[in-house]
A and B are shown apart, each in its own frame.
Chain A
Amino acid sequence: SGAAWARGLLSWARPERWLASGSLFPLSCIHTSTSLQKTGKWEKKNRIVYPPQLPGEPRRPAEIYHCRREIKYSKDKMWYLAKLIKGMSIDQALAQLEFSDKKGAKVIKEVLLEAQEMAVRKHNVEFKSNLHIAESLTGRGRYVKRVRCHGKGMFGIMKISRCHYFVKLVEGPPPPPEPPRTGFDQAKEYVQQLRNRTLVHTL
């Protein structure tokens, strides 16, 4: 491991790597996740390419992944809107968001319209209404701490929160909602559990 470490050091200190960039202090050697704009995982999901389908297989529905980063809104508040539109068709979701009074509703509506446009232009979706929302998530963005002044010279530290919003549209009508679990289903499951019991470590 010592030899590998030394080799690693020497490989970093190779002069041709430095001269290739043409400057004394090349920034390409330094990699920090915060400074450079690296593509997130959700954006990369649009790039996966499946192998061609066999003639007998059912048609794989188109999937479109879209997101917006660093929205000036709280992730907990945004989550309620994401939960509202989960599993709806895109038209229904747009209708609900248009008449919602929340600040995040406007942002999510823009994201959905962008995703719909992308689906029709790039992802070979025939009808723009034939989409439903398979997944809709929120994530925490970068928080910033600021001073909040109170009376008598006291101060508190407030955090300015931002969030990300992720959505996955899938072609096709929305799946039917799950029927609520009745007492009969619960009783059946209980009886099945009792029947699954066996004796362990025996003949």
Chain B
Amino acid sequence: VLILVRSPLPRLRALLQRCWGRLERGLWPGALGGQSPPWGPVLAVQGPALVPQGINDAGESSAAAPSLLESVLWMAAPKQRRTIEMNRSRRRHPSKLIEMKRNIDVCPECGNLKQKHVLCGYCYAKVKEETRLVRMEIYKKEGGPFNAPTVETVVLYEGEKPTEKDAGKRIIERARRRPSWFVQN
């Protein structure tokens, strides 16, 4: 069952009806696109000869938008599709290929590969791991941040005793054999 409900605002309805009537009769140009004449500033001039100039000035002063569209014609754009042969010659040019590296050597300590001007990655990782464990021991001894003592630190491994040189220094014990690369003193 379809029920028509009348709007409770008769005045609003009357206003809308009047607006719609105006639109249909064409008394409200500009609401529907393309039917109204273009609006622009109009020069009120006394004299007959200035009318054509007035139209030109009005056209130029109101036509600020077309200059952007005109500049599009001067944008750089490819004229022809680049053939696959041209593309391949560019992509495979010797300057674009990866160069072979001639600075790779063998690390004398561990036997892994290393670059000549860079530390050996394996040895560096080994030292980094040991340093991390020493730092953990230090943290356990200190118990928190900002507790670093004002004396030097000495790391001693299994079976090592502090000498006279390590008299006033802080001693960190590590429960393992001394690594060959960590020279004492």
Total number of residue pairs linking A and B with CB closer than 8 Å: 25
Number of interface residues of A (CB under 8 A): 11
Residue of A nearest to B91 (CB): A76
B115 adjacent to chain A (CB < 8 Å): yes
> Which of B96, B97, B104 is in CB contact (< 8 Å) with A95?
B104
A84 adjacent to chain B (CB < 8 Å): yes
Instruction: Report the minimal beta-carbon distance from B115 to chain A, rounded to whole angstroms.
Output: 6
Q: Which residues of A contact B140 (CB under 8 A)?
A: none
Interface residue tally of chain B, by bracket?
Answer: 10 to 19
Proximity string of chain A (95-107) to chain B, C-beta cutoff 8 Å, 1 when within and 0 when not: 1101110100000
Task: Give bound CA distance, A84 to B96, whole Å.
Answer: 11
Q: Which residues of B contact A76 (CB under 8 A)?
A: 91
Dominant secondary structure at the A interface: helix
Instruction: Report the minimal beta-carbon distance from B25 to chain A, rounded to whole angstroms.
Output: 38
Residue of B nearest to A94 (CB): B113
Among A81, A84, A100, residue most surrounded by chain B Cβ atoms (within 10 Å): A84
Whether the Cβ atoms of A81 and B98 lie closer than 8 Å is yes
B165 adjacent to chain A (CB < 8 Å): no
Q: Which residues of B contact A96 (CB under 8 A)?
A: 100-101, 104
Residue of B nearest to A84 (CB): B98
Whether the Cβ atoms of A84 and B97 lie closer than 8 Å is yes
Task: Give bound CA distance, A179 to B104, whole Å.
Answer: 25
Whether the Cβ atoms of B115 and A99 lie closer than 8 Å is yes
Task: Give bound CA distance, A99 to B104, whole Å.
Answer: 8
Whether the Cβ atoms of B97 and A80 lie closer than 8 Å is yes
Whether the Cβ atoms of B98 and A95 lie closer than 8 Å is no
Q: Which residues of A contact B104 (CB under 8 A)?
A: 95-96, 99
A121 adjacent to chain B (CB < 8 Å): no
Q: Which residues of A contact B115 (CB under 8 A)?
A: 99
Q: Which residues of B contact A45 (CB under 8 A)?
A: none
Instruction: Report the minimal beta-carbon distance from B163 to chain A, rounded to whole angstroms.
Output: 43
Given A95-B104, A99-B104: A80 and B98 interface contact (C-beta under 8 Å)? yes
A7 adjacent to chain B (CB < 8 Å): no
A83 adjacent to chain B (CB < 8 Å): yes
Proximity string of chain B (92-104) to chain A, C-beta cutoff 8 Å, 1 when within and 0 when not: 1000111011001
Residue of A nearest to B104 (CB): A95
Task: Give bound CA distance, A98 to B112, whole Å.
Answer: 11
Considering the complex, which residues of chain B in the window 71-105 have a beta carbon less than 8 Å from any beta carbon of chain A? 91-92, 96-98, 100-101, 104
Proximity string of chain A (73-100) to chain B, C-beta cutoff 8 Å, 1 when within and 0 when not: 0001000110110000000000110111
Considering the complex, which residues of chain A in the window 85-141 have a beta carbon less than 8 Å from any beta carbon of chain B? 95-96, 98-100, 102
Whether the Cβ atoms of A84 and B100 lie closer than 8 Å is yes
Task: Give bound CA distance, A96 to B98, whole Å.
Answer: 10
Instruction: Report the minimal beta-carbon distance from B136 to chain A, rounded to whole angstroms.
Output: 31
Task: Give bound CA distance, A96 to B102, whole Å.
Answer: 9
24 A-B contact pairs sorted by A residue (CB < 8 Å): A76-B91, A80-B96, A80-B97, A80-B98, A81-B98, A83-B92, A83-B97, A83-B98, A84-B97, A84-B100, A95-B101, A95-B104, A95-B113, A96-B100, A96-B101, A96-B104, A98-B113, A99-B101, A99-B104, A99-B113, A99-B115, A100-B98, A100-B101, A102-B98
A80-B97, A81-B98, A99-B104 known; 10 new pairs, CB 8 Å cut-off, are: A76-B91, A80-B98, A84-B100, A95-B113, A96-B100, A99-B101, A99-B113, A100-B98, A100-B101, A102-B98
Q: Which 4 A-B pairs have the closest CB atoms?
A: A84-B98, A95-B104, A80-B98, A95-B113
